[in-house]
């Protein structure tokens, strides 16, 4: 059973180099305390149950007592403590995803099969975050390693793992072959091997899916979907994601501080057309940061807000004091409504920006495009915040806690890219983050969505779906996105 | 000859040092940083911590000197994107590129020289024309386009050949399997240099065929075959040898795109990954190794050049 | 010994049917590309998502691209960019290559060594230099011209170097020296003209190479940036549609191939026409 990855993985979920392709491999190799449930709520993995303290300042997790590492040693609270206290919470190591656990002060062992996460503030989303690329590492393997990131025999070789498959061989530039772990405590897997094959070119991936060399893949580029759908040897399945695309209008620019202007942008951009043309219909326009995949929280009442309406956009702009200039570009106090959008060259951002540019032109806004290589783009837009407007996306753990992307405290250097600040929004975000009562939390999330839709801290563009191309012989694959599905490889099987 | 070779080796070393310095300083000018820092979801604390760990908070000249003193001891540093030694990563990939480029070179010479001879001997007639079209097509079609068309034809439609990689997983020892994987990429890569071999063989042979000593030999009654193969071709090979010298860098350059399209785990792809990920030590390491390959190949070519034509004295 | 030429080189060129054909194709393409947009006044940038990926039909002789833009218009405007960049890059490469190769070949001693080692130096880091230069300077046509020209002169230099070495050793040069001619004059008046056929061949192959380099650089995402069309970035963008709308890749691919082929054949024809020994 073969899955394509774009480059060599690093087999350590916390390694600074372990992102993108490594995620797939690490989710198979390393069990975490919880895993994404098939309905996206956190399901047991290494932890069988958990509960929050009444003051919300700690969570206690009861661990499985029969979990073992691939070398036979038992998985205990010590491993959890090592992973968090010695790796994640050690700021100078710069572990990937450490920021997700900023609220964790320390982890202590109550017993060999029970751990307690001590928090600096209430953190209802902790169980979900523990399912998000948060594999537990074996303490005994790292004994004597001064620098966990330099332990290449583990990270780029044969790690001691806990999952249903373990590393059999790793060939740089070509593949990582995982063999079945017969002693897996979570049940015996059906598949013999899981091969992660390095295939960097997306067209080649499609060719290999059609020829049967690949068993399951994500179709990043949806252009070929009709051709693939007509092939009998594969099936095409859409999956829900926790992802939304957005346009960020830098709030340091006074033009964008007027909510009517932001709303005008939303009306001017034909988001449904973007979904139809670029995502081939796999997605829907977004009006908040809460994704439809959160069935318990998503509020569909905002779905038809900001339906494409160029006239309404022009009206709002006019209300905000913008008048048509001689060359068709809007003007206010002698200044044209002109700015540059920085475009990162990744995924569908380029054509998206081209469509948006034309939409804005139609209402009198001149947006010039500055296409940049991804790395340079991150430097300019994210690290230096030196931008006026830009399109990008957020992917986040399976929980509606979106505090880091919207709170006023995260403007400037944090993930609040537009730098939007509003005390009402702050209050709503804090309530969602700290509320432990489910009903009250749902209420807060509903109010949050309404605020976001009405005030547009980001211009929400659309929620994409993922398209998985699966070989007809591969069965038992749950209906969840491929990354979360990596936690369920133990259930997959191949028809002969 | 030996003295000249020694001189060239010394010059080569100087070249390598210069190349490493220029590359190191230039790539650090490029905006952005290593990918582990340049992510949407990296926090400022993470970036700070990693910047310190990777030594990127030190000024560029200091970092270069650190690299240089390591290089003198044979240590090319640690790759930022994989934490493995740079020399190790290059050693994993270099043989694959040498295999691919070597095969492409051999194919283009074995096919190109005869084609060039045919074209020269049958000048301006149909065979000449056909050879011209065939060879020039290769250099007129963008390599990545040719690559994907071949993949669509041979892998997807005909299922004859694999579409990527160097060997099937689990079949790494199987020679036939490896050859199957080599066919398409080597073919595509050889098309980028074939025309040069053909064209210069043809023009060099034409030049020589018109020289007086050839007409003298023919007048003397030597058979056509002896004239062409015994005298003319050997002299015509001189510029062709110089062409081979220029083919090596062309192959190196062409391998970047070919390896990307066919997922060939070679230096070209490593270079692309290193550049995208701003893996500074790896970038400099690759540059130095490739420069070493090019410098030594040009030395070999120049020595062969002066051996073939005794009138040429290398200074 | 050289034989007197019976007629000027352009007459000989025009007697070669392949050269005539190539010349005609090139003239046709250049006229269409530079003058065509005056007649075909459709915007290459106006998107129309509902009309994406249409086959050739009314209003769009070549159909539309993935965002509904007119393909013919994009092909014309894209041609302007690609051809200008290609030609200018080739000129840059030729000038640099001639300077370095001829000087190194003719003046033995340290200039020779220095220049040829410089040539070697430039080859290895070429890829990273291209990437870095574009990242630092941006993807403008000017940067691309400098970068493509600045990294393709080495081949010209090596050939010129070899040719210069070869001709330097020939009798007519020794004779000129014995007669007291200055070295630079010998280089310019006797040796360089002998290299013209090679320069011409390099130049025409150079345009073809530069056009292909533009598309290779676009494949890596560093070429001319959308929405400005160029044949290279159009071809690159069409890769993902090769499964459903292969025509999108065929149009730019065919014109690139056609133009490069024509330049190459024209170069062959020119070389034959300029060769004083042809006809024997």
- Here the ipTM equals 0.86
Q: What is the pLDDT of residues C224-239, one digit of tens each?
A: 887 889 998 888 888 8
**CA within 13 Å, CB half, C260:** 31
Task: Quote the CA–CA distance of B288 and B299 in Å, as a whole number.
Answer: 16
In which element (H, E) is residue B189 found?
helix B175-191
What pLDDT does C280 receive?
33
pLDDT exceeding 90 applies to what percent of chain A?
A: 81
Please give the residue that has the higher pLDDT: either A81 or B315: A81
Reported as a single tens digit per residue, the pLDDT across A440-495 is: 999 999 999 999 999 999 999 999 999 999 999 999 999 999 999 999 999 999 98
pLDDT at A246: 97
**Chain C residues close to A202, C-beta within 8 Å:** 240
Categorise residue A456: left if φ over 0, alpha if ψ from -120 to 50, beta otherwise: left
- Between CA C151 and CA B30 the distance in angstroms is 18
* Residue C85: predicted pLDDT: 92
Contacts of A357 (CB under 8 A, 6+ apart): A341, A367, A368, A369, C227
pLDDT in tens, A325-356: 888 899 998 899 999 999 998 989 999 999 99
pLDDT of residue C51: 82
How far does the CA of residue A210 sit from the closest CA of chain C (Å)?
11
Give yes or no for residue B170 having a pLDDT over 90: no
pLDDT at C279: 43
Above 60 in pLDDT, residue C4? Answer: no
Question: Does pLDDT of C129 surpass 80?
Answer: no
pLDDT band at B315 (very low <50, low <70, confident <90, very high): very low
Closest CA to A454 of A429, A424, A431: A424
Task: Give B-chain residues touching C236 at CB under 8 angstroms.
Answer: 144
With bands split at pLDDT 50, 70 and 90, how would you rate the model's confidence at A137? Answer: very high
Chain C from 184 to 213: CB within 8 A of any B CB: 197, 201, 205, 208-209, 212
Percent of chain C with pLDDT over 90: 12
**Strands A34-36 vs A493-494: parallel, antiparallel or unpaired:** unpaired
Tell me which chain A residues have a C-beta less than 8 angstroms from the C-beta of C227: 354, 357, 369
- C238 or C271: which carries more pLDDT confidence? C238
Calpha distance C84→C214 (Å, rounded)? 11
Contact (CB<8Å) A171/B148:
no
What is the mean pLDDT of the segment spanning C197-213? Answer: 81
Which residue of C158, C205, C268 is in closest CB contact with B242?
Answer: C158
Provide the pLDDT for residue B138. 73
Which residues of A fall within a CB distance of 8 Å from B81? 17
> What's residue C77's pLDDT?
92
Q: What is the mean pLDDT of chain C?
A: 80
How far is Cα C280 from Cα C3, in angstroms, rounded to an integer?
Answer: 9
Instruction: State residue A405's pLDDT score.
Output: 95
Q: Say if the Cβ atoms of A172 and B93 lie within 8 Å.
A: yes
Residue A35 is encoded by which pair of tokens?
Answer: 């895993």
- Averaged confidence pLDDT in chain A: 93
Residue A431 has pLDDT above 90, yes or no: yes
Confidence of residue B161 (pLDDT cuts 50, 70, 90): confident
Supply the pLDDT for residue A430: 94
Which pLDDT score, from 0 to 100, does residue C64 have? 87
Kindly give, in sequence order, each residue whose CB lies less than 8 Å from that of residue A342, ignoring residues fewer than 6 positions away. A370, A372, A377, A380, A381, A387, A388, A389, A390
Residues in Cβ contact with C13 at an 8 Å cutoff, skipping those fewer than 6 apart:
C19, C20, C23, C269, C270, C272, C273
Q: For B10-69, how does the pLDDT look when each residue is reduced to its tens digit (9 = 90+)?
A: 888 888 888 888 888 888 888 888 888 888 989 999 999 999 988 888 898 899 999 999
Model-wide pTM > 0.90: no
Least confident of A99-108, A141-150, B266-275, C181-190: C181-190
Q: Find the chain C residues whose C-beta atoms sit closer than 8 A to any C-beta of A.
A: 45-47, 49-50, 52, 66-68, 135, 139, 221-222, 225-227, 239-244
Q: What is the mean pLDDT of residues A265-291?
A: 95
Examine the pLDDT at C124 and tell me if it is beyond 80: no
pLDDT range class, residue B148, cuts 50, 70, 90: confident
As a whole number, mean pLDDT of residues A215-239 equals 91
Q: For C37-61, what is the mean pLDDT?
A: 83
Contact (Cβ atoms closer than 8 angstroms) between residue B189 and residue B254: yes
C52 vs A277: CB contact, 8 Å cut-off?
A: yes
Say if residue A297's pLDDT is above 80.
yes
Rounded (to 5) percent helix, strand, coil in chain C: 75, 0, 25
Is the CB of C49 less than 8 angstroms away from the CB of A226? no
At C248 the pLDDT is 85
Please state which of the ranges A104-118, B73-87, C115-129, C195-209 shows the lowest mean pLDDT: C115-129
Contact B140 C256 (CB under 8 A): yes
Structure tokens at C151: 């990294």
- Overall average pLDDT of the C25-33 stretch: 91
DSSP H helices, A57-98, are 77-81
Q: Is the pLDDT of residue A367 over 80?
A: yes
Q: How far apart are CA C200 and CA B185, in angstroms?
A: 31
What percentage of residues in chain B have a pLDDT greater than 70? 84
């Amino acid at each position: 059973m073969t899955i394509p990855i774009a480059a060599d993985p690093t087999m350590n979920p916390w390694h600074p180099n372990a992102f993108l392709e490594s995620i797939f491999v690490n989710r198979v190799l390393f069990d975490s305390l919880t895993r994404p449930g098939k309905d996206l709520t956190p399901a047991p993995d290494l932890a069988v149950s958990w509960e929050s303290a009444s003051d919300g300042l700690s969570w206690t997790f009861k661990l499985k007592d029969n979990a073992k590492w691939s070398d036979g040693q038992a998985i205990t609270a010590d491993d959890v403590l090592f992973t968090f206290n010695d790796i994640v919470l050690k700021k100078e190591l710069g572990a990937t995803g450490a920021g997700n656990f900023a609220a964790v002060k320390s982890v202590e062992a109550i017993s060999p099969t029970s751990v307690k996460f001590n928090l600096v503030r209430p953190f209802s989303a902790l169980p979900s975050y523990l399912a998000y690329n948060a594999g537990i590492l074996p303490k005994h393997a790292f004994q004597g390693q001064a620098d966990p990131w330099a332990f290449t025999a583990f990270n780029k070789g044969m790690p001691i793992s806990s999952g249903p498959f373990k590393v059999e061989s790793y060939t740089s530039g070509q593949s990582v072959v995982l063999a079945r772990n017969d002693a897996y405590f979570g049940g015996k897997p059906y598949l013999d091997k899981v091969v992660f094959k390095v295939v960097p070119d997306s067209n080649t991936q499609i060719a290999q899916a059609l020829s049967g060399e690949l068993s399951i893949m994500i179709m990043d580029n949806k252009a070929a979907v009709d051709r693939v759908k007509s092939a009998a040897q594969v099936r095409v399945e859409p999956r829900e994601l926790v992802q939304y695309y957005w346009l960020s209008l830098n709030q340091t620019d006074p033009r964008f501080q007027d909510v009517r202007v932001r709303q005008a942008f939303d009306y001017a951009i034909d988001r449904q057309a973007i979904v139809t043309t670029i995502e081939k219909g796999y997605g829907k326009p977004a009006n908040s940061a809460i994704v439809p995949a959160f069935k318990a929280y998503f509020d569909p009442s905002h779905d038809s807000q900001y339906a494409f309406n160029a006239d309404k956009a022009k009206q709002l702009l006019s209300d905000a004091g913008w008048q048509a200039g001689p060359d068709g570009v809007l003007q206010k106090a002698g200044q044209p409504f002109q700015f540059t959008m920085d475009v990162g060259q990744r995924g569908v951002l380029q054509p998206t920006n081209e469509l948006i540019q034309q939409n804005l032109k139609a209402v009198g806004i001149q947006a010039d495009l500055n296409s940049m290589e991804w790395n340079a783009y991150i430097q300019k837009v994210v690290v230096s915040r030196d931008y006026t407007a830009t399109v990008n996306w957020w992917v986040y753990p399976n929980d509606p806690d979106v505090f880091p992307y919207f709170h006023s405290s995260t403007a400037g250097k944090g993930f609040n890219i537009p730098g939007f600040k509003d005390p009402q929004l702050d209050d709503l975000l804090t309530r969602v983050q700290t509320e432990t009562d489910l009903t009250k939390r749902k209420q807060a999330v509903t109010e949050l969505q309404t605020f976001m839709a009405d005030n547009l801290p980001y211009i929400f563009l659309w929620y994409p779906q993922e398209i998985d191309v699966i070989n007809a012989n591969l069965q038992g694959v749950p209906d969840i996105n491929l990354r979360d599905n990596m936690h369920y490889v133990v259930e997959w099987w191949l028809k002969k | 000859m030996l003295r000249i070779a020694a001189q060239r080796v010394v010059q080569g070393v100087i070249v390598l040092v210069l190349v490493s310095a220029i590359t190191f300083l230039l790539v650090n000018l490029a905006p952005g940083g290593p990918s582990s820092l340049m992510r949407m979801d990296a926090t400022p604390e993470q970036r700070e911590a990693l910047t310190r760990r990777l030594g990127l908070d030190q000024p560029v000249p200091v970092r270069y000197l650190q690299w240089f003193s390591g290089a003198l001891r044979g240590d090319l540093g640690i790759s930022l994107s994989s934490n493995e030694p740079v020399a190790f990563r290059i050693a994993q990939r270099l043989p694959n590129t040498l295999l691919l480029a070597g095969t492409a070179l051999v194919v283009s010479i074995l096919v190109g020289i005869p084609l060039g001879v045919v074209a020269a001997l049958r000048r301006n007639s149909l065979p000449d024309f056909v050879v011209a079209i065939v060879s020039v097509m290769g250099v007129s079609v963008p390599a990545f386009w040719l690559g994907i068309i071949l993949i669509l034809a041979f892998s997807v439609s005909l299922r004859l050949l694999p579409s990527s990689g160097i060997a099937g997983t689990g079949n790494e020892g199987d020679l036939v399997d490896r050859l199957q994987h080599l066919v398409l990429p080597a073919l595509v890569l050889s098309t980028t240099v074939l025309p040069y071999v053909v064209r210069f063989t043809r023009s060099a042979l034409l030049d020589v065929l018109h020289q007086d000593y050839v007409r003298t030999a023919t007048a003397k009654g030597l058979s056509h075959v002896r004239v062409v193969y015994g005298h003319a071709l050997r002299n015509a090979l001189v510029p062709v040898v110089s062409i081979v010298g220029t083919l090596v860098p062309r192959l190196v350059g062409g391998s970047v795109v070919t390896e990307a399209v066919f997922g060939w785990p070679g230096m070209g792809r490593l270079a692309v990954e290193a550049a995208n990920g701003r893996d500074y030590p790896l970038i400099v390491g690759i540059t130095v190794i490739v420069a070493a390959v090019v410098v030594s190949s040009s030395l070999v070519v120049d020595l062969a050049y002066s051996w073939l034509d005794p009138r040429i004295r290398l200074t | 010994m050289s034989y007197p030429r019976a007629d000027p080189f352009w007459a000989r060129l025009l007697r070669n049917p392949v050269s005539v054909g190539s010349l005609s194709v090139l003239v046709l393409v250049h006229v269409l590309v530079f003058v065509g947009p005056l007649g075909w006044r459709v915007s290459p940038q106006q998107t129309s998502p509902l009309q994406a990926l249409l086959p050739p039909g009314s209003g769009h002789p070549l159909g539309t691209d993935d965002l509904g833009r007119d393909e013919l218009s994009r092909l014309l405007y894209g041609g302007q960019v690609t051809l200008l960049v290609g030609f200018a890059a080739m000129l840059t490469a030729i000038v640099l290559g001639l300077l370095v190769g001829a000087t190194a070949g003719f003046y033995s001693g340290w200039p020779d060594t220095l220049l040829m080692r410089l040539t070697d130096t430039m080859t290895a880091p070429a890829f990273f230099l291209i990437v870095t230069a574009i990242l630092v300077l941006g993807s403008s046509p000017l940067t691309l011209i400098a970068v493509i020209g600045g990294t393709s002169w080495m081949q010209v230099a090596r050939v010129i170097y070899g040719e210069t070495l070869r001709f330097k050793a020939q009798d007519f040069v020794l004779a000129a020296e014995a007669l007291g001619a200055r070295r630079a004059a010998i280089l310019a008046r006797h040796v360089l003209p002998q290299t013209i056929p090679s320069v011409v061949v390099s130049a025409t192959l150079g345009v073809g190479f530069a056009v292909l380099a533009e598309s290779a650089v676009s494949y890596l995402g560093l070429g001319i940036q959308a929405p400005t069309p160029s044949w290279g970035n159009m071809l690159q963008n069409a890769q993902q549609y090769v499964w459903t709308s292969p025509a999108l890749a065929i149009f730019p691919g065919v014109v690139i191939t056609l133009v490069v082929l024509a330049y190459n054949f024209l170069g062959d024809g020119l070389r034959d026409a300029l060769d004083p020994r042809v006809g024997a």
